[in-house]
Structure formats: structure tokens, C-alpha cells
Amino acid sequence: MALLVFELMKIILVRHGRPEIDLTALNKDWVTANEFGQVVSAYQQSDLADDEQPPADVVQVAATCQVFVSSTLRRAVSSCEALGVSKVSHADPVFDEASMPFANWKFVRLPIGVWSVLFRIGWMMGFHQNAERVRDIGNRAHKAAQSLVDQAQQHGDVMLIGHGIINRMIANHLANNHWRMMSSNGDDYWSFTVYEDHLSTQDEAPLRL
């Protein structure tokens, strides 16, 4: 009987730091749906806040990783730099956040927080104006999860500096394919979740959808 050699490997999913345009801080501002879309577009292009620094726990975890990957959005790339990552092995739009849909209405004003909830619920129910479809994001998350597994198998522990929704969708694919969530410290900026699996000397099967 062939002896299997197992090597512990990890994938760490990190949410980026606080951006210069913080939607949470704007939740009570009243805007039209069209103006909400302008805020969303500005947020997608925003960098980290000038005074933003990563907490010690995520810095310590980053020091144990061999590979760093990120989305192509500026707030994620700058979060890598804030962590002291000298080289991102792989920056890819497959890790970019699921964009927020919005309508172009100019006749109703609601708080930004209300628009965020309404449009995100609508998105989950099929509304996708100015955004990707849920199905397309799901397919992208599957590809992203497979990319992380490939990187882990080839190079060792991987840290993804990504975003809230896409990270959760990636996590679902990992959990459905025998990756175990070992720890998580929430959903805030700089939060991270650690997944573990074992790397066999045998070839691994691709992730299931």
C-alpha cells in the first residue's frame, strides 16, 4: 500500500482595510438612486484612508504566508502594501468585489444605508443593473477558489487580500470541498478567516461547483 504524505496548508481570506470613502460612515446621507450609483463608483476606485494601518494580528498571520494574492481594486492593493508585502504574487480581477447594482432614478431620496440594503437584496433576487449577475459572480468565485488552491499546492500558505462578499463566496466553495474553517474574527475591515486542508503527494481533483 502506497504511503500518503500529508503537509498542512492554509488559505487565509482577508478583507481590505478602511478605504478613504467609507460607505458605512455615509449610511445616513440621503441621496437619489442615481447619486447612490455615483458614490458606489467612487468607492470602487477609492484607495485606503491615509491614516489606515493593519492591526497586529493580521500582520502576524501575513508573516507566516508564502504567497500573497489580491484583487485589482486599489483598496486591496494598498492593503497589501500596508501589510508590508513587498511582492504580490498574483493580482487578478477574479478576486474583485461583487459590484453593487443601482438604478438611475432621480426622483426618490433615501439614506445610503437603505439603498445599499435594497439594491443588494434586489441583486440576490436577480436585479443586476450596472453590476454583474449573481450567477456570474458565483462562477468567478469558483475560479478564484481554484486559483487559491492551486497556489497553495504549489507554493504553501496563501493569503488573499480581497473583499467582503467575494471572500464569503470563495469561502463557500472551499468549505464545500473539504477545506476546514479553523478561525474567523468577523467581517470588519482587516478581518480574516483561516481555512486548512492537507496537501497530498497525489494530484488533487478540481473544486466542485
Instruction: Determine the Cα–Cα distance for residues 172 and 187; give it in Å rounded to an integer.
Output: 15
Where do the domains of the chain lie, and which CATH numbers do they carry?
Answer: 7-17+26-198 (3.40.50.1240)
Grid cell 478576486 in the structure block, residue: 95
pLDDT digits over 37-50, tens only? Answer: 999 999 999 999 99
pLDDT above 70 for 208: no
Grid coordinates representing 57 are 494580528
CA atoms of 171 and 176, how far apart (whole Å): 9
pLDDT of residue 177: 86
Q: In terms of Cα–Cα distance, which of 102, 96, 98 is closest to 117?
A: 102
Instruction: Determine the 3-state secondary structure of 21 from DSSP.
Output: coil
> At a CB cut-off of 8 Å and minimum separation 6, what does 34 contact?
102, 103, 104, 105, 106
Q: Residues 158-168: what's their mean pLDDT?
A: 97
- Given a contact cutoff of 8 angstroms between Cβ atoms, the answer to whether 196 and 180 are in contact is yes
User: What is the reported pLDDT for 89?
Assistant: 76
Which residue, 21, 15, 39, 22, is CA-closest to 119?
Answer: 39
C-alpha cell belonging to residue 163:
473583499
Task: Give me the pLDDT at residue 57, please.
Answer: 96
Query: Based on the number of CB atoms within 10 Å of its own CB, is 115 exposed (0-12), middle (13-18) or buried (19 or more)?
Result: buried
Convert the pLDDT of each residue in 89-105 to its tens digit: 778 999 999 999 999 99
Q: How confident is the model at residue 165 (pLDDT cuts 50, 70, 90)?
A: very high
* Terminal C-alpha separation, the chain: 32
Q: Residue 35 burial (CB < 10 Å; 0-12/13-18/19+)?
A: middle
